[in-house]
Amino acid sequence: MDPLGARCQFVEVQTLSTWEWQPDPEGEEKEYNFSQQAFLSPFPYREDINRKIVLYNGNVALLNCTAIVNTSNETLTDKNPISESIHTYAGPELRDEMLKLKGCRTGEAKMTKGFNLAARFIIHTVGPKYKTKYRTAAENSLYNCYRNVMQLAKEQAMASVAVCVVSTTKRGYPLEDATHIALRTVRRFLEKYGESIETVVFAVTDTEEPTYRKLLPLYYPRSEEEECASLPLIPTDIGNSEGEPVVPERQIRIAEKPGCLEVDSEAETLDSDLGQVGTHAFSRMEGDVDKQRKLILQGQLSDATMQKQHQRNYNRWLCRARAEDLSDIAALKALYQTGVDMCGRTVMVLVGRNIPVTLIDMEKALLYFIHVMDHITVKEYVMVYFHTLTGEHNHLDSEFLKKLHEIVDTKFKNNLRAFYFVHPSFRSKVSTWFFTTFSVSGMKQKVHHVETLQQLFTCILPEQIDIPPFVLEYDARDRIVCKKKNNQQTVQQILLSKPKTFAKMDDPSLEIKPELLSNRMLKLQYVTFCVTQPISLRNVTYRSVILIESKSKTQ
């Protein structure tokens, strides 16, 4: 104990209010019609379980309990806020102890001492990285995280355990989905093996607390009335008896006695036998189950399932985008709608210079993109990206772009007809080629690199697009520099090849225009070049030169 009383900052778990006594944040009394209750809740009201649950908004490292949970990566070196806080309070001994663990695989749980923490032990676990097409694997891994944490707590006879949110934002797992798995897994474990565990604390942050408060009544109703009210909100997929996610396609349908379901021998009666007739899989009016599963293995039916999962994930992001305050991102004016292109398609403008990647919350930027683009992408559209005068702090990394591509709805990709990349650099061209070739499919042929605004105006009329002033200035300046450079090179080449066809023109009053004039009567061509710097060739200095070349052999 520090003589100055430094440990007064630690929080005793016994002083926290259990879920049973925490008031409903809405504070409204509701009336329920029990006569309409057709079936029982899979998570009935259990006062004994509610007394064990605590929702705590604060730092899990400060809790004085038997064990706390640390979420990390496979090498146990992750630098997320939870892990860093635990290391800070535990001291350097924890880092040395974790080196002896030699890592931890996704879904596993390993234990160390708490060292300088108030908690005696630390249970380390590794949450999964979330990708839509691997959603089932991510769900199972996250379930294993919570299950193994609780199993370890039971094996070590721990009285209390504080569980942080294992699925960190960095790993991309949707918070609401992860919360369902966490609450469901702990509930099922306490129902079967919770005799020795007195307290389970869900330690959350300000961002996570509203989601936990919304979903806790579904799995831990505090009264029969709340159980009844929560029943319609419980998701259809609640896992098996252990809370583990279930994939119907992977279930084995071989029974011990084909032709009848297994029934408890003690409760077997003639009525129950007759009641089971005609209810098993082989007597239902349905297609060939084996054929359907064979098609799934061949990848012919998995696309539809994957598309449904992707749509659900996108809808969750869209709901977040509509609910969150994104005014700070909108103030950047990095994404806006303008007119239409030559084909009448909506034009969306993205200004790279207005995206300070290192200074803003990129998740909020992603939400703003979804919020703005959702109603635009219902029909065909094009995007114009101005790469003009961007720096390193404006460049989006490939991981963010891949995440964006995975999250957005299919209409974003299908209705995008062209992506105009204005003022690209050599580096951006190479990066774009690699990204569209190896990371995303179907985008490569839609990307068009546009060197000047004049090229862009061949697809979109100037009055149909709102271009930032700095882009116009840059393009005009760049065009003048290129024109002078090209004129100088042309004059030098022609002077070296046909020196006798030039006359010295030093009259400053002469109007010089880089254009071709034809005189059919004299059968001559006059080409005038403006020279920015005097050119000395063969002891002759040219400031402005005019080419006089005859087409007639008699001349």
- Candidates 227, 225, 147; CA nearest to 187 is 147
pLDDT of residue 319: 87
CB-based contact 220:189 (threshold 8 Å): no
Q: Are strands 540-550 and 524-537 parallel, antiparallel or unpaired?
A: antiparallel
Task: With CA atoms as reference, report the closest residue to 530 among 470, 494, 480, 484.
Answer: 484
pLDDT higher than 80, residue 195:
yes
pLDDT at 550: 39
Q: How many CB atoms lie within 10 A of CB 1?
A: 7
448 vs 527 pLDDT, higher one = 448
Instruction: Report the pLDDT averaged over residues 497-508.
Output: 44
Q: Give dist(CA 73, CA 49) in Å, integer.
A: 31
* pLDDT, position 152: 95
Q: For a pLDDT cut of 90, what percent of the chain falls above it?
A: 49
Q: So what's the pLDDT on residue 303?
A: 64
Number of CB atoms found within 10 A of residue 432's CB: 19
pLDDT recorded at residue 73 = 92
Q: How far apart are CA 120 and CA 118, in angstroms?
A: 6
* Residue 522 pLDDT grade (very low, low, confident, very high; cuts 50, 70, 90): very low
Give all domains of the chain, ordered by start, each with its CATH number: 6-26+39-233 (3.40.220.10), 328-467 (3.40.525.10), 477-550 (no CATH)
Stated as kind and residue range, the H or E segment containing 469 is: helix 469-497
Q: 299 or 390: which carries more pLDDT confidence?
A: 390
Rounded Cα distance, 187 and 16, in Å: 19
Look at residue 516 in the predicted model and tell me its pLDDT: 37
C-alpha span between 211 and 165 (Å, rounded): 12
pLDDT band per the 50, 70, 90 thresholds, residue 528: very low
Residue 468 has pLDDT above 50, yes or no: yes
Tell me the per-residue pLDDT of 102-155, one tens digit each, with 9 for 90 and over: 889 999 999 999 999 999 999 999 999 998 888 889 999 999 999 999 999 999
Give residue-wise pLDDT tens across range 395-424: 888 888 988 988 998 889 999 999 999 999
Give yes or no for residue 358 having a pLDDT over 90. no
**pLDDT grade, residue 443 (50/70/90)?**
confident
- The pLDDT of residue 442 is 80
pLDDT higher for 409 or 273? 409
Measured CA distances, 408 to 142, 172, 183, 297 (Å): 24, 14, 28, 26
The radius of gyration of the chain from alpha carbons, rounded to an integer in Å, stands at 35
Per-residue pLDDT reduced to its tens digit, 233-253: 898 889 898 999 887 656 555
* pLDDT on residue 542: 53
Cα-Cα-Cα-Cα torsion 448, 404, 104, 114, nearest 10 degrees, comes to 130
Compute the average pLDDT of residues 203-209. Answer: 94
Residue 179, pLDDT above cutoff 80: yes
Task: Please give the average per-residue pLDDT across 523-539, as a whole number.
Answer: 47
Look at 297 and 23; give whichever has higher pLDDT.
23
The answer to whether residues 183 and 49 touch, using CB atoms and an 8 Å cutoff, is no
Q: How much of the chain, in percent, has pLDDT values that exceed 70?
A: 72
What's the mean pLDDT when you consider all of the chain? 79
Higher pLDDT, 147 or 263: 147
- Amino acid identity of residue 276, one-letter, is Q
- Between CA 369 and CA 170 the distance in angstroms is 19
**Predicted structure pTM score:** 0.49
Query: Token digits for 61?
Result: 């490292």
CA distances from 112 to 118, 123, 163, 351, 519 (A): 14, 7, 15, 50, 93
Q: How distant is the alpha carbon of residue 164 from its chain centre?
A: 22
pLDDT at 131: 86
DSSP per position, 23-80: PPTT-------GGG--S--SS---HHHHTTEEEEES-GGGEESSEEEEEE-TTS----
pLDDT of residue 453: 94
Which of the two residues, 305 and 28, has the higher pLDDT score?
A: 305
- What pLDDT does 440 receive? 83
CB crowding 386-408: b at 16 or more within 10 Å, else e: bbbebeeebeeeeeeeebbebbb
Higher pLDDT among residues 57 and 20, named by residue: 57
Number of residues that this document lists for the chain: 555
Q: CA-CA distances (angstroms) from residue 275 to 159, 193, 279, 286, 318?
A: 46, 33, 8, 20, 47
Looking at residue 127, the DSSP 8-state letter turns out to be: P
Which DSSP symbol is given to 88? H
pLDDT score of 166? 95
Q: Which pLDDT tens digit goes with each residue over 43-102?
A: 999 999 999 999 999 999 999 999 999 999 999 999 899 999 999 999 999 999 998 998
- Tell me what the mean pLDDT of segment 191-201 comes to: 93
For residue 141, give Cα distances in angstroms to 134, 179, 358, 407.
11, 14, 32, 21
Mark residue 550 as left, alpha or beta (left: phi above 0; alpha: psi -120 to 50; beta: remaining): beta
Q: How far apart are CA 113 and CA 67, in angstroms?
A: 9
Cβ 44 vs Cβ 218: under 8 Å: no
Q: What is residue 342's three-state secondary structure?
A: coil
Which pLDDT score, from 0 to 100, does residue 397 have?
85
What pLDDT is recorded for position 508?
42
The identity of residue 531, as a single letter, is: V
Q: Higher-confidence residue: 545 or 39?
A: 39
CB 58 within 8 A of CB 5: no
Nearest partner of 273 among 260, 287, 292, judged by Cα: 260
Q: Decide: helix, strand or coil at residue 237.
A: coil
> Could you write out the three-class secondary structure of 351-396?
EHHHCCCCCCCHHHHHHHHHHHHCCCCCCCEEEEEECCCCCHHHCC
Cβ partners under 8 Å of residue 538, min gap 6: 499
Q: How many CB atoms lie within 10 A of CB 174?
A: 20
